[in-house]
A and B are shown apart, each in its own frame.
Chain A
């Protein structure tokens, strides 16, 4: 059973960079697509981007200038960096696995505030 777990700071200051890591257990990251998705409090879901295990990426154009997703197959992890954050980036951030998003982490709330 593949399990995902997000980790990273829960509070980020405006203009700084949000950094999260997703650790994959119970299976190898060396297959499938691995996504980041976010959900502002009380709102719907927004796809941020994904990375294929080989390292190729695709990002949401609305965030592309600020987003970097990377993978570390040796650690079975993939990561998200979102730069120049504002209060609008406050959300629960989820990592998810496979193109159809079969596997989801529990999510981590990231608040952008000074």
Chain B
């Protein structure tokens, strides 16, 4: 199985400041045939299903604010919230859809400092 390791487990950021979440996969999730990273990021608020933010490692889902961005390739990926807003308090998960079984990171809880 591809193990997805997120860091940190939690972080507290002041409103308007940058939040950075890292995700490392135990194997590459880059398909050389199409040069795509099979990596997505989700936001989950309490009592709600996860919401897709980013797919193909850096493509923002329609309707997602542009303060959310994804970067990285191969085995190392980052989700950045450029200016944290109160509504961004949530748990964030990375997910690889490159290899069966599909796997998720353990989650990163983002709070307001």
A100 touching B49, Cβ below 8 Å:
no
Query: Knowing A44-B93, A45-B93 touch, does A104 contact B103 (C-beta < 8 A)?
Result: no
Q: Can you name 22 A-B residue pairings with CB atoms under 8 Å?
A: A44-B104, A45-B93, A45-B95, A45-B107, A47-B101, A47-B103, A47-B104, A50-B102, A59-B101, A60-B100, A60-B101, A60-B102, A62-B101, A94-B50, A100-B40, A100-B52, A100-B55, A101-B52, A101-B97, A102-B55, A102-B61, A106-B48
The yes or no answer to A46 lying at the interface (CB within 8 A) is yes
A45 to B, closest residue via Cβ: B104
A101 touching B93, Cβ below 8 Å:
no
Number of interface residues of B (CB under 8 A): 21
**Residues on the B chain within 8 Å of A59, using CB:** 101
**Residues on the A chain within 8 Å of B77, using CB:** none
Within 8 A of B (CB), among A48-94: 50, 58-62, 94
A101 touching B103, Cβ below 8 Å:
no
**Residues on the B chain within 8 Å of A44, using CB:** 93, 104-107
Size range of the chain A interface in the assembly: 20 to 34
Please name 12 further chain A to chain B contacts, defined as beta carbons within 8 Å, in addition to the given A45-B50, A45-B107, sorted by A numbering.
Answer: A45-B93, A45-B95, A45-B104, A50-B102, A59-B101, A94-B49, A100-B40, A100-B52, A100-B55, A101-B52, A104-B50, A104-B51
